[in-house]
Structure 1
């Protein structure tokens, strides 16, 4: 496809070369992914590229470069390829990528989920509900990677829940070409802020909640909230929002007449009452449009019921039968790394969960307290190069809700793991709960398992189904549940 067609009607300046250049090998922000015939997009401060990667990208075969007009380019352009300048290279990249792949999102129903917690769980629930109730072919894009049903889509290794625009549009095109009817994706705050979802036609946008997280990226809760709310400013046709979260009122103000609500406490279009929670799951009564439906899900906890309500509302808005969707809930497989359970040979229960914020950790531990008959042992840490203000808070929450805590690493990135533990520890000390420090995550899990007695519950929190530890700039293979099973073998 010609570069001029990719950017048609989008303000740009051809600084050198021929805009009729044919782009035949896609586009990328990442220098190592450049192939002959590709468009290289020089995103400022991008780790795998940026303006500093132009020379290598051209050497690898890039036939054109898209850059920001204020980028630090060489004073004299020495390359022979076409150079196009734009005011916002991320916005232009989203336009170009969508056109290159034929605007694929418009060929499918798209559900985009945003909020601090619940995005991955709801994405799995939507996929499961539509597959079980309707036999639908559903694509999933998120924290656990990208897939169509059980078929993984090979992609370069990444830590992004919402892929960059070129990758996202490629995935959507791949799903469309394989006759996928619906796609559910996670819309992170940074994904929205960095315009990765621009030119994705979202049929239903789901808002789960807003609690403290990602202040390292956004600076303030107001900035964080506004990034989330941008999904509901012309980026989706209809919204499904959590009526129990005060932010939902702001979404309703932005989209009058376009919002459907769900909740456990506040009046809502989809509401749950008569909630019963035990170790096997949750039972409740769904209220919608004057009717009642007995419902159950194989996951314990009010937060899981809220996720189920969001799932039902989103799928029902897409036109699927509500009775069939409700019946499908109880047959859903567990979501990897989300309240995922394992019984050890010694009789202890291990729960692996992604809880990595104060709110999510408190909710998981509160749910466990509702059915625990033995002690609660919590293994957790806090991510490096992330919001440091939540560290002592999470220590306090874990200490108040646990009988024993094991402090360990959770993606230390560029920080000293022991320094992170030093910042968590004061919150724990204040509770008087006994705790053990072990920066090596495998050794920490082993310590917790060795300390567990029959009927104890060991919560391994923070990473869920993530397949790696981020240490420095390395991705080291590591999955919590796999390690638990290996240690118990």
Structure 2
């Protein structure tokens, strides 16, 4: 496709070459090392693997054109010489991130227009709702659905391989590529996780989202946003022109603001009047039964996951699918047949009779919810293994220690993803909250040793919660990704 066609209607200034005669034949990229001959390299300021300093390497790898940001420093003369030598076109735009979403969507034929696109945002529940939307449509109608998020990208059970560096909400070159793949593989619906940073940095712009889903807002990611107000505002971008319809949690105070912005938004609730409401909840270790109310009718429902928050996720799922025109009765009947979401209240029974729960809970609110749920049906002791991520919000650490201690009989505090932070320092931040509860605890920075200790301390009828990493297949230590799975480790250690 001609570069001039990709940039049509966008403010731009050609610095070298001719956009009318430059053809982009190998996609777009933010990372210089993913450029191939004929690529459009987009130099995003501050991007870890790209940016203005990577223009020269991108040209050396055969980039057919380069987009630079008007806010970036002037390129050195050596880069101009390289562009002249290779015949590459260099174009300046006001904001490379904003333009990237547009040109990449155009390059792949605006695939979002050809499918129903559901985007889920909120602090907790994004992955669960995404998986549940896919399961509900597949089980009720045999539909082919694409999923993009924390656990990777797939159409049904067919994975779409991507580099491990790809984010939960991929950068626009990756996101539009994935949407194109899903369209070409026959997906009629795509559901994606829209993170706050993904929304703030324009990754989901030009995705043609049909339904935006808001789950909740609780403390997290303050290392990125600074304040809860900034974090909220980043989430709200989804409902400020990026989606056609909205499904909103009426039990969260932010929901009212979304309804004010989008008066035709549909609401769901466990505690208040709403378009989709659940009552008569009955929770046990096997799951939750409830009554779903909509438009004056009642639907008996069940999900194979315990907890109020799981019912809220089910309501969000049903509402999002129903608003797209799918049969409500069929959706409700599919709920109790859903497979478990990897790393979300994922369960294991050991030969010794101990129950193990692996959950992604890594914020104060999510940890409180999963522990409160477990406490509701536990017959024995609750033993919690958890930590906090390094190089992330430090203000939540003591609070998570307090929550874990309040709801557990024994805690094992350990490393999550320490990244470039000293693991012992992270534990030092957590332990004051634990100590305030009086609950006994152990400090073991080695996560495998921590899980082993918890399992050895547990007896029949006890429940061991391993929280924080869910289905993540690795642990981030320094700059390295070390293969590590909580569930696989628990299975191995328990001999299950």
TM value normalised by structure 2: 0.97
Aligned to 1:61: 62
**Structure 2 unaligned spans of 5+:** none
CA distance in structure 2 between the partners assigned to 1:305 and 1:436 by the alignment: 33
Q: Helix, strand or coil for the counterpart of 1:271?
A: strand
User: Structure 2: how far apart are the matches of 1:461 and 1:156?
Assistant: 26
Match of 1:293 among 277, 290, 299: 299
How big is the shift at 1:160? 1.3
Partner of 2:17: 17
- SS of the residue corresponding to residue 81 of structure 2 reads coil
Please name the residue that 2:50 is paired with.
49
| Greater shift in the superposed pair: 34-43 or 180-189 | 34-43
Determine the C-alpha separation between the residues in 2 that align with 1:99 and 1:124.
28
Work out the CA distance in 2 between the residues paired with 1:6 and 1:487: 54
Q: Per-residue CA shift, 1:128-183, capped at 9, x if unaligned?
A: 00000011000000000000000000111125110000000000001111111000
User: Match for 2:374 among 332, 354, 368?
Assistant: 368
Counterpart mapping for 1:4-403 below 5 A: 4-19=4-19, 20-76=21-77, 77-80=80-83, 81-158=88-165, 160-256=167-263, 258-403=264-409
Whether the 8 Å CA contact 1:242–1:262 is kept in 2: the answer is yes
SS in 1 for 2:82: coil
CA distance in 1, matches of 2:75, 2:165: 30
Q: What does the per-residue CA deviation read over 1:206-232, in whole Å, with 9 as the maximum and x for residues that have no partner? A: 000000000000000000000001100
1:143–1:159 contact (8 Å) kept in structure 2: no
**By how many angstroms is 1:79 displaced?**
2.0
Counterparts of 1:263 and 1:280 in 2: how far apart (Å)? 22
User: What per-residue deviation string (whole Å, max 9, x for no partner) do you get for residues 65-97 of structure 1?
Assistant: 111112124342222221111111100100110
Further displaced range: 196-205 or 31-40: 31-40
Alpha-carbon deviation of 1:273? 0.4
Mapped partners of 2:50, 2:241: distance in 1: 31
Render the CA deviation track for 1:293-314: whole Å, top value 9, x for unaligned. 1000000000000000000100
Match of 1:407 in 2: 413
Q: Which residue of 1 aligns with 2:441?
A: 435
The question of 1:475 aligning with 2:478 is answered no
The whole-number CA distance in structure 2 between the counterparts of 1:288 and 1:267 is 10
Distance 1:54 1:439 in 2: 41
Write the distance in 1 (CA, Å) between the matches of 2:402 and 2:214.
28
Q: Residue 238 of structure 1: SS of its match in structure 2? A: strand
Q: Equivalents in 2 of 1:232, 1:292: separation in Å?
A: 29
Q: How far apart, CA to CA, are the structure 2 residues paired with 1:139 and 1:119?
A: 15
Q: Structure 1 CA distance, aligned partners of 2:443 and 2:16? A: 58
- Looking at structure 1, the residues matched to 195 and 367 of structure 2 have their Cα atoms a distance apart, in angstroms, of 19
| CA shift for structure 1 position 435 | 0.6
Alpha-carbon deviation of 1:118?
0.2
The answer to whether the 8 Å contact 1:38/1:62 transfers is yes
User: C-alpha separation between the residues in 2 aligned to 1:268 and 1:316?
Assistant: 15
Cα distance in structure 1, aligned partners of 2:227 and 2:123: 14
CA-to-aligned-CA distance 1:13-64 (integer Å, 9 cap, x gap): 1111121311111111112211111111111111111111111111111111
Q: CA RMSD in A?
A: 0.8
Structure 1's 282 and 484: CA in aligned 2 closer, same or farther, altered over 3 A?
same
CA distance in 2, matches of 1:21, 1:249: 48
Q: Are the counterparts in 2 of residues 203 and 236 from structure 1 also a CA contact under 8 Å?
A: yes
1:261–1:269 contact (8 Å) kept in structure 2: yes
Q: Secondary structure of the residue that 1:430 maps to in structure 2?
A: helix
Question: Runs (4+) of structure 1 moved beyond 3 Å?
Answer: none
1:238–1:259 Cα contact (<8 Å) kept: yes
- Tell me how far apart the structure 1 counterparts of residues 379 and 287 of structure 2 sit (CA, whole Å): 16
SS at match of 1:398: helix
After superposing the two structures, state which structure 1 stretch, 24-33 or 336-345, moved more: 24-33
Q: Is the 8 A contact 2:52 2:75 kept in 1?
A: no
Aligned length: 488
Distance across 2 between alignment mates of 1:31 and 1:474: 20
Distance in 1 between the 2:43 and 2:305 partners?
44
Q: Is the 8 A contact 2:291 2:299 kept in 1?
A: yes
Deviations 1:355-390 (A, max 9, x none): 000000000000000000110000000011111000
Deviation at 1:439, TM superposition (A): 0.8
Whole-angstrom distance in 1 between the partners of 2:75 and 2:65: 16
CA contact (8 A) 2:35 2:41 kept: yes
Query: How far apart, CA to CA, are the structure 2 residues paired with 1:50 and 1:413?
Result: 23
CA shift digits 1:412-462 (9 cap, x unpaired): 111111110110011001111111111111111111111111111000000
